[in-house]
Each structure stands twice: as structure tokens, then as C-alpha cells.
């Protein structure tokens, strides 16, 4: 394994994109505390954060390793991704995946039995996504499932058993992530079509993909709303929900089939901000009385 600066590996896994899933993991964790007999404990909180980091590092690095030939052939990614441009060697990326996978499973061992037993399943989902665009247009939904593990996984860290409330948030994340990944995939529509890769844009066309993304995001809105109703949440939650859904709507307004110039604004900035703001208001709902 050749060495490379830490910043290169942070770039490889797009560490800043942790903002997509981590806020929902925090929601799952603090929901567990609020609706159970358990109290905050650094012994569970820190391993939960570490699991998020290790799993995401493994998934992103595996994606870059498996897709290195595709990324090299794609003009959009050939110069900006670390393996094609030579910043990180394939061997280094491979070992980075192995190390983070082992650390993820090892960390779950010190949490509880159910997290440890389910850790290979979780790892299979987040790693397996990278292979799916070779055979199914539903690859976006597999990515959504991977990130949807955050709320229920964090809940399991505390309680060690399943419950419906965190699952509603997991379903919301599933459809949210799947929908915005479809928008992001519009950038590679021509390339994917030429290479025979599968995606919703290739399957439905650009306009159809945008419509399907909107359809999925309607499910996101429904699950977030039902979670609030199910839990009997009040003002803070519904303010956060309103902001989150407004930002979700905004990304659909700024991306058009014939104008993809603001895809990155929709994908990175808008979704990251939406996730953080929503989680803040959920925590306010749980711990601040009006």
C-alpha cells in the first residue's frame, strides 16, 4: 500500500458529503434516547459516529476502486477523481476499503450483538451499490437503502431493537437519496448510454428521470410528515419539515433536462443544508419546550 496525504483520501471518499447521512444518524440516536429508558453515553455515541465514518469510507473508496476504468473513460471524472488522475493508486484505495471495512465490523462488536450480527449485511449493501449500475437502472434505490441504514442503525446502537419511528425516517432517507442521485446521474446520461451502463436517466430519458425523482421525493415528504404525526411532534418539527421540503422543491426548480448547470448546487449544497437544518429542528423538538 503506497502512502498518500490524508487530504487525498478525504477527497477520495468525499468526506464532506457525510452531511447527507450523518444528521439522520443523529436523529436516530437521539430518538432512541428520547423514547427509551437510556441516557446519553459517550460509550455508545462515539462508536456510532465511527461506524458512520468507517462504513462511508469503505463504500466511497470501493466505488472509486471498482469504477476506476469507467471514471478514466468519462471526460467528466477523468481529471477530478483521484485514481484516474494518479493522486491515489488503485492498490491504496483497495487497502483503504479493507481497513475501513474491518474497523466498521470491529467497532460494532463493542456496541451490541444485533449491530455486530447485522454489520456484514450493512457492509454488503453499501459496498454492493457500486456494482449495481452494471445490471439495473434501480441502482439509485440501492444507494438510497445504503444511506437509509443511518437512522435505524443509530437507533439500534442505543436500544438494540427495531422500532417504527426510526424506520419512517429511514424510508424518508431512502427515497430522498434515490431521488437526488437520479438528478446527479443526469450529468452522465450520454456517457452511460454509450457505455451500456444502467440508470434511471438512461431508462426513462432526462424528462422521465426528473419526473421519477419528483415522484420519489413525494414519498420522502410523506414519510417525514407521517413520522411527525406518529410521534406527536410539535412546532419545531414542523418548521424543520417545512424548510426541508422547501429545499427539496428548490432543487427540482433549478434543474432542467436541458440545463444541468446547477446540478451540483442541487446535489451538494441544497441537500447538505436541508439535512443539517432538518436535524437541528428535530433535536430542538426533542429537547426544547416552547
Average pLDDT over residues 28-51: 94
CA dihedral 201, 205, 207, 210 (to 10 degrees): -20
DSSP character for 288?
-
Instruction: Return phi, psi of residue 89, to 5°.
Output: -80, 155
Length of the chain: 290
Which structural domain range is residue 19 located in? Answer: 6-287
With left for phi above 0 and alpha for psi between -120 and 50, is residue 99 left, alpha or beta?
alpha
Per the domain annotation, does 229 fall within a domain? yes
Higher per-residue pLDDT: 18 or 260: 260
Q: What is the mean pLDDT of the chain?
A: 92
User: Considering all CA atoms of the chain, what is the largest pairwise distance in Å, rounded to the nearest integer?
Assistant: 56
Helix (H) or strand (E) holding 262: none
Give a yes or no: residue 14 inside a domain: yes
Give the least confident one: 45-54, 86-95, 259-268. Answer: 259-268
Residue with more model confidence, 212 or 6: 212
The answer to whether residue 252 sits within a structural domain is yes
Predicted confidence band at 261 (pLDDT cuts at 50, 70, 90)?
confident
CA–CA separation, 290 and 87 (whole Å): 51
Backbone torsions φ then ψ of 256, nearest 5 degrees: -120, 155
pLDDT, tens digit, for every residue of 113-167? Answer: 999 999 999 999 999 999 999 999 999 999 999 999 999 999 999 999 999 999 9
CA 30 to chain centre: 19
Q: Is residue 1 part of a domain?
A: no
Cα–Cα dist 290/277, whole Å: 18
The values of phi and psi at residue 259, to 5°, are -150, 95
pLDDT higher than 60, residue 3: no
* pLDDT of 290: 66
Q: What is the CATH number of the domain that holds 94?
A: 1.10.357.140
In a domain, residue 169? The reply is: yes
H-state helical runs in the chain: 6-12, 22-34, 42-66, 68-73, 90-109, 113-132, 139-159, 164-185, 189-195, 200-231, 235-254, 263-264, 271-287
Number of domains in the chain: 1
Confidence grade of residue 109 (pLDDT, cut at 50, 70, 90):
very high
Q: Is residue 91 part of a domain?
A: yes
Amino acid at each position: 500500500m503506497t502512502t498518500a496525504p490524508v487530504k487525498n483520501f478525504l477527497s477520495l471518499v468525499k468526506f464532506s458529503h457525510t452531511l447527507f447521512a450523518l444528521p439522520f444518524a443523529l436523529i436516530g440516536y437521539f430518538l432512541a434516547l428520547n423514547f427509551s429508558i437510556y441516557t446519553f453515553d459517550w460509550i455508545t455515541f462515539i462508536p456510532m459516529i465511527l461506524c458512520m465514518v468507517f462504513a462511508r469510507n469503505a463504500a466511497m473508496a470501493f466505488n472509486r476502486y471498482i469504477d476506476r476504468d469507467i471514471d478514466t473513460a468519462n471526460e467528466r471524472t477523468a481529471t477530478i477523481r483521484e485514481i484516474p488522475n494518479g493522486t491515489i493508486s488503485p492498490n491504496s484505495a483497495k487497502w483503504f476499503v479493507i481497513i475501513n471495512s474491518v474497523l466498521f465490523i470491529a467497532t460494532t462488536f463493542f456496541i451490541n450483538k444485533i449491530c455486530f450480527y447485522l454489520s456484514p449485511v450493512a457492509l454488503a449493501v453499501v459496498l454492493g451499490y457500486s456494482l449495481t449500475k452494471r445490471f439495473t437502472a434501480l441502482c439509485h434505490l440501492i444507494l438510497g437503502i445504503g444511506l437509509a441504514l443511518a437512522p435505524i442503525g443509530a437507533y439500534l446502537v442505543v436500544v438494540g431493537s427495531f422500532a417504527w419511528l426510526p424506520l419512517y425516517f429511514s424510508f424518508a432517507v431512502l427515497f430522498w437519496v434515490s431521488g437526488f442521485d437520479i438528478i446527479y446521474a443526469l450529468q452522465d446520461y450520454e456517457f452511460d448510454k454509450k457505455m451500456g451502463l444502467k440508470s434511471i436517466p438512461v431508462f426513462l430519458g432526462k424528462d422521465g428521470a426528473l419526473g421519477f425523482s419528483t415522484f420519489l421525493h413525494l414519498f420522502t415528504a410523506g414519510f417525514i410528515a407521517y413520522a411527525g404525526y406518529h410521534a406527536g411532534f410539535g412546532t419545531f418539527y414542523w418548521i424543520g419539515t417545512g424548510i426541508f421540503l422547501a429545499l427539496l422543491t428548490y432543487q427540482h426548480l433549478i434543474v432542467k433536462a436541458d440545463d444541468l448547470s446547477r446540478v451540483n448546487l442541487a446535489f451538494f449544497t441544497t441537500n447538505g443544508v436541508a439535512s443539517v437544518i432538518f436535524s437541528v429542528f428535530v433535536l430542538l423538538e426533542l429537547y426544547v419546550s416552547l
